[in-house]
């Protein structure tokens, strides 16, 4: 940390805004700032506008998002005056388009070209940024915008000896303007990412010989380029505004129909047909969006990966080369897939050779060419297509010092931390365009760029109109956004690849997910919400006033939020207070469409004697050889709905994960059989199952209980009744979102009483059906009221942040601990009452399902992991 910079004189800024970069982002920023009456200059290291499209002039360079989508939308005239000649325009055509925009809007007059920003320092006394360039100038501005690009800092070659090579060396990322003549040359290309895959077929056609040095093979799909197809052209011609608006709210910035089916919802023939349609679709999204679960389910991903490997095998003549070109060590889509023209077929040419660096790594570059561990390959030209220090490279290459002299590089030493990818705490008035933590490189970048530019300028306008001149993200807001970004990524397969999305391509770079995988539309919604809630997560100040609006914009787990949204769209009736038949029919209808849960070894339905007649049970037997420990399970449903099979998917999951025999008990329901019928049935069932453990295939004496919601209440009460009766022995209790107290005034009820499936009203009606008010203080109804919790089996109590029952569950865990019971409490962040049992629906709760199973294994083997009261 260096001393904060404080100006002596209180001089004003030279300009309202300094924008760094004059690519698509910097240019639009300049345009928009002017339109809103802000003075601004842009500083650009290149000699001219274009950014990516100025620097990357290698043969074959073109966009792989259709140009109709990959173009500005802010100026509708552009769509009329600019006709794209191809579906995926070439680099020269895109650069010409950018030049056209710069000229049309007279943008160059405010750009300083051939100038690099080297440092920027927040002047705390003056509330201004001091921006220093490589020409020695200092420009003082109020707001500082980094439009420096996600893929603008090339990665170092990392191959020893490059300087010794006597031939020519080129980088795809800074290709000479005059082009390169490969005729008659022996060319080596290092790298098979998007740049390599675009350049290789064209270099192969020109060069005498081409050697491709491949470290990791990439998935690529045919671009099927050509004239702009009607399905795109007509969108702009007939419904331009709607189409552009759809793009803004779409998943990845190009409006396309979303899939509804998962890979294994269809048979093999249909699966193949859909993959085949994706292969022929001529867009990356044609294949990535062929099913809903390709990026979340490893088996689904294996299916598409194998389909694509078969395509490679069918194109490449030499089976050994084909195998070398087949990616095998990461899921499809987790490293950026490519669109190509004749890439794989290029390896059938006699002048092209593939060197598999996984078998024979490069030792060094010599003056004659490239030396691998096996051979020396003489070359005239070496092309590095080795990629970029993505997303953070350009931001960190500027020496940025914020509040208190803190350097951005230090703040981000363990990975970038941002709020919405737009701002970072401690760096007031600094904005990033498509920064880490925003959809950026996982989207059509033009849509993301326009969104950020507009959000930022709206923010500046808001500050100005309200007499503020400083805006800064709060640490809470950015920390929780980072959590949300990680939560989203953790639901997907992205973290499984050593990709540049994860920072893995640059040695020493922290391994964290850089872009936001939650999608363009959902991201935009969060940004809108931040503004609508008074710039939530920001501190605005100026004119002696401070508007400190700390807060968290996304607290629910992403899949929980998606589930709630989907339910809202269904406009389901509110069944709280409805007759029980209605509640039961409603619950059964919702359960009908749920995923079935994993396979188990065997399912047996049976009956056992209860205090008032037989009770039904369902036994879930693991696939492994028995005998097994036994878990008696009590379903949820407010003592009013449900049966021995109502939590079937969860029981399967519990059985498969814990390798225990799970017996789900169909206890009597209220109002037909009110309190204390359910707990009496529960005790009788546990007793009978303990006595018949051997016949059921269980290990006598290895018995635990588990229950969810009202079932958690029964499990808790049964443990006390069994203790008092002196039988049966229970080695552990797992209480999932248990009802432990009839008091419905706790904060959890107030905070979470509506909108999270189990409502306060519904819970109230359950109690009304179950127990008259005068009975509710009975510890057999409200186990939290028991004064004698000592001597109970060790417990795991799971609660969820957005559950009305959260606080009574936590209170019960505390009460158990206070009574000397080994009780562990896990509170699930961002989850709701139904999350834990929603197998294959709420994947973010899979970790807690695993934890529950592991605790049960411990209970059943006599080594409980329970200990101190914790939450996590």
| 45 is a contact residue toward ligand FAD (CB under 6 A) | yes
Chosen from ligand FAD, ligand NAP, none, partner binding at 148 (C-beta under 5 to 8 Å by type): ligand FAD
Q: Which tokens is 382 given?
A: 């070496």
**Contact between 19 and ligand FAD per CB under 6 A:** no
Interface residues with ligand NAP (CB under 6 A)?
Answer: 63-64, 151, 158-159, 172, 190-196, 198, 215-216, 336, 338-339, 357, 385-388, 441, 500, 505
By CB under 6 A, how many residues form the interface with ligand FAD? 36
**Near ligand FAD by CB under 6 A: residue from 40, 139, 145, 151:** 151
336 binds, among ligand FAD, ligand NAP, none (CB under 5 to 8 A by kind): ligand NAP
480 binds, among ligand FAD, ligand NAP, none (CB under 5 to 8 A by kind): none
Residue 664 in contact with residue 644, Cβ under 8 Å? yes
Answer for which of 116, 240, 723, 776 binds ligand FAD (CB under 6 A) is 116
> In sequence order, what are the beta bridge partners of 592?
none
Residue 385 interface partner, choices ligand NAP, ligand FAD, none, CB cut-off 5-8 Å depending on type: ligand NAP
Distance CA 247, CA 448 (A): 10
391 binds ligand FAD (CB under 6 A): no
Nearer to ligand FAD among residue 173 and residue 664 (C-beta): 173
Which of ligand NAP, ligand FAD, none does residue 386 bind to, with CB < 5 to 8 Å depending on kind?
A: ligand NAP
Collect all residues with Cβ–Cβ distance below 8 Å to 362 and sequence separation of at least 6. 159, 190, 213, 370, 371, 372
Stretch that binds ligand FAD, among 52-60, 202-210, 263-271, 485-493 (CB under 6 A): 52-60
Q: Which is nearer to ligand FAD, 84 or 634 (CB)?
A: 84
Select from 50-58, 254-262, 344-352, 651-659 the region that touches ligand FAD (CB under 6 A). Answer: 50-58
Region 406-465 residues binding ligand FAD, contact defined as CB under 6 A: 433-434, 444-445, 449
Asked if 300 contacts 294 with a C-beta cutoff of 8 angstroms, the reply is: yes
What span, in angstroms and rounded, lies between the C-alpha atoms of 562 and 812?
31
Going by the DSSP 8-state scheme, the letter that residue 5 receives in this structure is B
In the complex with ligand NAP, which residue's Cβ is closer, 515 or 830?
Answer: 515
Which partner in ligand FAD, ligand NAP, none is near 398 (CB below 5 to 8 A by kind)? ligand FAD
Residue 149 within binding range of ligand FAD, rule CB under 6 A: yes
Placement of tokens 């794989």 in the chain? 344
Distance, C-alpha 322 to centroid of its chain? 32
**Which residues have a Cβ under 8 Å from the Cβ of 89 and sit 6 or more positions away?**
62, 63, 67, 70, 97
Residue 421, Cβ density class (10 Å: 0-12 exposed, 13-18 middle, ≥19 buried)? buried
Which stretch in 146-154, 364-372, 503-511, 838-846 sits in contact with ligand FAD by CB under 6 A? 146-154
Place of tokens 């400083």: 470
Smallest distance, Å, CB 295 to ligand FAD?
18
Structural tokens at position 53: 């499209």
Q: Residue 17: helix, strand or coil by DSSP? A: strand
Which is closer to ligand FAD, CB of 398 or CB of 540?
398
150: left (phi over 0), alpha (psi -120 to 50) or beta: alpha
Contact in structure between 153 and 56 (CB atoms under 8 Å): no
C-alpha torsion sign, points 227, 231, 237, 241: negative
Q: Which is nearer to ligand FAD, 61 or 689 (CB)?
A: 61
User: 639 phi and psi, to 5 degrees?
Assistant: 65, 5
The three-state (H, E, C) secondary structure of 786-829, written as one string: CCCCCCCCCEEEEEEEECCCHHHHHHHHHHHHHCCCCEEEEEEE
Q: Is it true that the peptide bond before 72 is cis, omega within 30 degrees of 0?
A: no
Stretch that binds ligand FAD, among 147-155, 243-251, 602-610, 616-624 (CB under 6 A): 147-155
Shortest distance, CB of residue 747 to ligand NAP, whole angstroms? 46
Kindly state the smallest distance separating residue 278's Cβ from ligand FAD, in Å: 18
Is the Cβ of residue 54 or residue 749 nearer to ligand FAD in the bound state?
54
38: its two tokens: 């802000």
470 closest CA partner among 478, 481, 460: 460
Q: Which is nearer to ligand NAP, 193 or 637 (CB)?
A: 193
**Is the CB of 429 or the CB of 448 nearer to ligand FAD?**
448
Which one of residues 17, 19, 46, 821 is an interface residue with ligand FAD (CB under 6 A)? 46
Q: How far is the CB of 434 from ligand FAD (least distance, A)?
A: 6
Tell me if 187 sits within 8 A of 378, measured CB to CB.
Answer: no
For the CB of residue 156, give the shortest distance to ligand NAP in the complex, in Å.
9
Query: Applying CB under 6 A, does 26 fall inside the site for ligand FAD?
Result: yes
- CA pair distance 488, 222, nearest whole angstrom: 29
Residues near 63 by Cβ (< 8 Å), separated by ≥ 6?
A: 70, 88, 89, 94
Q: How far is the CB of 445 from ligand NAP (least distance, A)?
A: 9
Name which of 119 and 744 has its Cβ closer to ligand FAD: 119
| 147 contacts ligand FAD (rule: CB under 6 A) | yes
Binding mask 54-73 for ligand FAD (x = CB under 6 A): x-x----x-xxx----x---
Distance of CA 349 to the CA centre of its chain: 41
Cis? peptide before 362, omega within 30° of 0? no
**629 binds ligand FAD, rule: CB under 6 A:** no
**DSSP secondary structure of 347-413:** GGSTTEEEEETTTS-EEEE-SSEEEESS-EEE-SEEEE---B-TTTHHHHTSEEE-GGG-BHHHHTT
**Least CB distance from residue 107 to ligand NAP, whole Å?**
24
Contact 666, 646 (CB under 8 A): no
221, 223, 377, 394: residue in contact with ligand FAD (rule CB under 6 A): 394
Residue closest to ligand NAP when measured from CB atoms: 193
User: Binder to ligand FAD among 17, 18, 43, 679 (CB under 6 A)?
Assistant: 43
x-or-dash string of contact with ligand FAD, 153-192, rule CB under 6 A: ----------------------------------------
Nearer to ligand NAP, 58 or 523 (CB): 58
Which stretches of the chain bind ligand FAD, using CB under 6 A?
20-26, 43-46, 51-52, 54, 56, 61, 63-65, 70, 116-117, 147-152, 195, 394, 398, 433-434, 444-445, 449
């Amino acid at each position: 940390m260096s001393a904060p910079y404080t100006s002596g004189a209180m001089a004003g800024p030279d300009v309202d805004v300094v924008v760094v970069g004059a690519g698509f982002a910097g240019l639009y920023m300049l345009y928009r700032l002017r339109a809103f009456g802000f003075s601004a200059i842009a500083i650009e290291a290149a000699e001219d506008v274009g950014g990516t499209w100025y620097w990357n002039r290698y043969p074959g360079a073109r966009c792989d998002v259709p140009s109709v989508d990959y173009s500005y939308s802010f100026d509708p005239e552009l769509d009329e005056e600019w006709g794209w000649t191809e579906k995926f325009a070439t680099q020269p055509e895109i650069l010409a388009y950018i030049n056209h925009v710069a000229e049309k809007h007279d943008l160059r007059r405010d750009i300083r070209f051939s100038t690099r920003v080297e440092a920027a320092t927040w002047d705390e006394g003056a509330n201004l940024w001091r921006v220093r360039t490589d020409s020695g100038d200092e420009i003082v501005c109020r707001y500082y915008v980094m439009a420096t690009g996600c893929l603008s800092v090339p990665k170092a070659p990392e191959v020893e000896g490059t300087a010794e090579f006597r031939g020519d060396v080129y980088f795809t990322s800074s290709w000479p303007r005059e082009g390169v003549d490969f005729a008659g040359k022996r060319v080596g290309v290092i790298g098979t990412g998007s740049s390599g895959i675009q350049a290789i077929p064209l270099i192969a056609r020109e060069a005498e010989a081409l050697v491709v040095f491949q470290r990791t093979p990439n998935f690529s799909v045919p671009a099927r380029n050509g004239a702009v197809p009607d399905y795109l052209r007509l969108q702009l011609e007939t419904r331009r505004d709607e189409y552009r608006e759809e793009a803004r709210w779409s998943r990845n910035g190009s409006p396309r129909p979303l899939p509804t089916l998962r890979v294994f919802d269809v048979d093999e023939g249909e699966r193949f047909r859909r993959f085949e349609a994706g292969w022929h679709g001529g867009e990356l999204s044609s294949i990535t969006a062929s099913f809903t679960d390709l990026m979340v389910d490893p088996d689904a991903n294996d299916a598409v990966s194998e389909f694509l490997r078969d395509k490679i095998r069918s194109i490449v003549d030499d089976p050994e080369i084909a195998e070398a070109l087949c990616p095998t060590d990461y899921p499809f889509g987790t490293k950026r897939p490519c669109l190509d023209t004749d890439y794989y077929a290029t390896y059938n040419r006699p002048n092209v050779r593939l060197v598999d660096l996984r078998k024979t790594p490069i030792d060094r570059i010599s003056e004659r060419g490239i030396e691998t561990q096996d051979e020396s390959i003489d070359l005239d030209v070496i092309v590095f297509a080795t990629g970029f220090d993505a997303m953070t490279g350009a931001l960190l290459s500027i020496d940025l010092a914020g509040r208190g002299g803190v350097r951005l590089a230090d703040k981000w030493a363990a990975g970038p931390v941002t709020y919405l990818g737009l701002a970072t705490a401690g760096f007031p008035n600094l904005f990033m365009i498509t920064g880490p933590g925003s959809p950026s490189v996982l989207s059509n970048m033009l849509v993301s760029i326009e969104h950020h530019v507009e959000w930022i300028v709206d923010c500046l306008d808001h500050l100005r109109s309200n007499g503020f001149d400083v805006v800064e993200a709060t640490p809470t807001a950015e920390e929780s956004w980072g959590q949300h970004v990680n939560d989203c990524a953790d639901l997907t397969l992205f973290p499984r690849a050593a990709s540049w999305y994860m920072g893995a391509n640059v040695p020493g770079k922290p391994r964290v997910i850089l872009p936001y995988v939650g999608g363009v539309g959902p991201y935009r919604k969060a940004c809108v919400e931040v503004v609508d809630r008074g710039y939530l997560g920001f501190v605005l100040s100026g004119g002696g006033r401070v508007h400190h609006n700390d807060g968290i914009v996304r607290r629910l787990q992403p899949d929980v939020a998606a589930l709630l949204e989907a339910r809202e769209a269904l406009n389901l009736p509110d069944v709280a207070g409805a007759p029980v038949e209605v509640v039961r029919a409603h619950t059964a209808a919702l359960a009908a469409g749920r995923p079935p849960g994993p396979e188990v070894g065997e399912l047996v339905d049976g009956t056992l004697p209860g205090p008032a007649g037989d009770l039904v049970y369902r036994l879930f037997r693991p696939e492994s050889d028995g005998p097994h420990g036994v878990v008696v399970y009590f379903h949820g449903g407010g003592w009013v709905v449900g049966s021995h099979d109502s939590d079937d998917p969860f029981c399967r999951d519990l059985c498969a994960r814990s390798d225990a025999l799970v017996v789900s008990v169909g206890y009597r329901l209220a109002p037909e059989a009110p309190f204390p019928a359910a707990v009496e049935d529960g005790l009788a069932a546990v007793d009978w199952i303990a006595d018949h453990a051997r016949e059921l295939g269980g290990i006598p004496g290895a018995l635990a209980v588990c229950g969810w919601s009202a079932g958690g209440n029964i499990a808790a009460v049964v443990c006390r009744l069994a203790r008092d009766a002196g039988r049966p022995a229970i080695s552990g209790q797992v209480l999932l979102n248990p009802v432990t107290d009839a008091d419905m005034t706790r904060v959890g009820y107030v905070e979470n009483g509506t909108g999270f499936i189990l409502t306060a009203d519904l819970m109230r009606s359950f109690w009304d059906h179950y127990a008259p008010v005068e009975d509710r203080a009975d510890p057999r109804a409200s186990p939290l009221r028991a004064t004698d919790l000592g001597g109970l089996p060790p417990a795991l109590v799971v609660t969820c942040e957005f559950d009305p029952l959260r606080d009574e569950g936590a209170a019960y865990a505390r009460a158990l601990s206070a009574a000397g019971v080994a009780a562990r409490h896990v509170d699930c962040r961002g989850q709701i009452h139904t999350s834990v049992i929603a197998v294959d629906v709420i994947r973010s709760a899979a970790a807690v399902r695993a934890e529950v199973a592991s605790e049960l294994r411990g209970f059943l083997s006599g080594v409980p992991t329970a200990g101190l009261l914790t939450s996590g």
